[in-house]
Amino acid sequence: MASKKADPQFIYEELLKLFPEAHCELNFSTVYQLAVAVMLSAQTTDVSVNRVTGTLFEKYPDAEAMAQAEQKDVEEIIKSIGLYRNKAANVISMSRKLQEEFSGVIPDDMDKLTSLPGIGRKSANVILSEGYKHPAIAVDTHVHRVSARLGLAKETDTPDQTEMKLRRKFPEENWSKLHHLMIFFGRYKCHSRNPECDDCPFREYCRRKASH
Ligand code: SF4
């Protein structure tokens, strides 16, 4: 196991060189649609979500329309993605609560966001960052794995613990970009299995328990 620690600033700069274009890959036009896309993306690729949201948002563009949807109709549209029954139920419940308690507007606040059905801290962070441009770091499977391999957090940390460690190590103005950089690095280079280590700038610091 490597003992050297990479400086967070070095990590940020190298990630930026690798993926200067890192961005949110979900398609959406409003913060409401972003929230729905994020909910649908759990354990599913963004590409799969984008395949269904065109039709979904055409039929149900906002909370008002979705609050009146029949679950079976939503299921029919999103059935190609994983956990579609639960996701359809959650999207409708979330939209109803949004209508009843927040005038149909996605709230700009962590506690209020996580009071909505189907929205946990990770999803709320994506919504705050992408939808409202607040500094936030959402810890998904890629961010969690990459953080551990780069020695920024431990593999045994919870997503919340990893988030707090990243928040302490990086300046607030870089949080949202860092989130995208780590996702792109995890998605396109530092894969869960068979990562592309040969030309990785972090090889000498890497904690992955395997020979490089
Ligand atoms: S050396 Fe390999 S496993 Fe380690 S951070 Fe780089 S790509 Fe990921």
Q: What is the 3-state secondary structure (H, E, C) of the chain?
A: CCCCCCCHHHHHHHHHHHCCCCCCCCCCCCHHHHHHHHHHCCCCCHHHHHHHHHHHHHHCCCHHHHHCCCHHHHHHHHCCCCCHHHHHHHHHHHHHHHHHHHCCCCCCCHHHHCCCCCCCHHHHHHHHHHHHCCCCCCCCHHHHHHHHHCCCCCCCCCHHHHHHHHHHHCCHHHHHHHHHHHHHHHHHCCCCCCCCCCCCCCHHHCCCCCCC
Catalytic residue flag (residue 140): yes
pLDDT in tens, 39-81: 999 989 999 999 999 999 999 999 999 999 999 999 999 999 9
- The rounded Å distance from CA 196 to ligand 1 centre is 7
Query: Which of 11, 188, 189, 193, when mutated, tests ligand 1's pocket best, judged by the most ligand atoms within 8 Å of its CB?
Result: 189
Closest alpha carbon to 147 in 2, 8, 3, 1: 8
Dihedrals phi, psi of 16, to nearest 5 degrees: -65, -35
Which domains, and CATH codes, for the chain?
8-22+137-205 (1.10.1670.10), 31-132 (1.10.340.30)
Q: Which of 122, 133, 157, 209 is catalytic?
A: 122
Residues in the chain, pLDDT under 50: 1, 211
Q: Which pLDDT belongs to residue 212?
A: 53
Q: Can you give the length of the chain in residues?
A: 212
Whether residue 201 has its Cβ less than 6 Å from ligand 1:
no
Q: Which pLDDT belongs to residue 6?
A: 87
pTM of the model: 0.93
Query: Which of 202, 205, 211, when mutated, tests ligand 1's pocket best, judged by the most ligand atoms within 8 Å of its CB?
Result: 202
Q: Which pLDDT belongs to residue 211?
A: 46
Q: What Rg do the C-alpha atoms of the chain give, in angstroms?
A: 18
Q: Which two tokens stand for residue 148?
A: 């551990």
Phi-psi map region of 140: left, alpha, beta (phi>0 left; psi -120 to 50 alpha): beta
Whether residue 208 has its Cβ less than 6 Å from ligand 1:
yes
Q: Which pLDDT belongs to residue 4?
A: 81
Q: Which pLDDT belongs to residue 56?
A: 98
Environment class of 15 (CB within 10 Å of its CB; exposed 0-12, middle 13-18, buried 19+): buried
Catalytic residue flag (residue 46): no
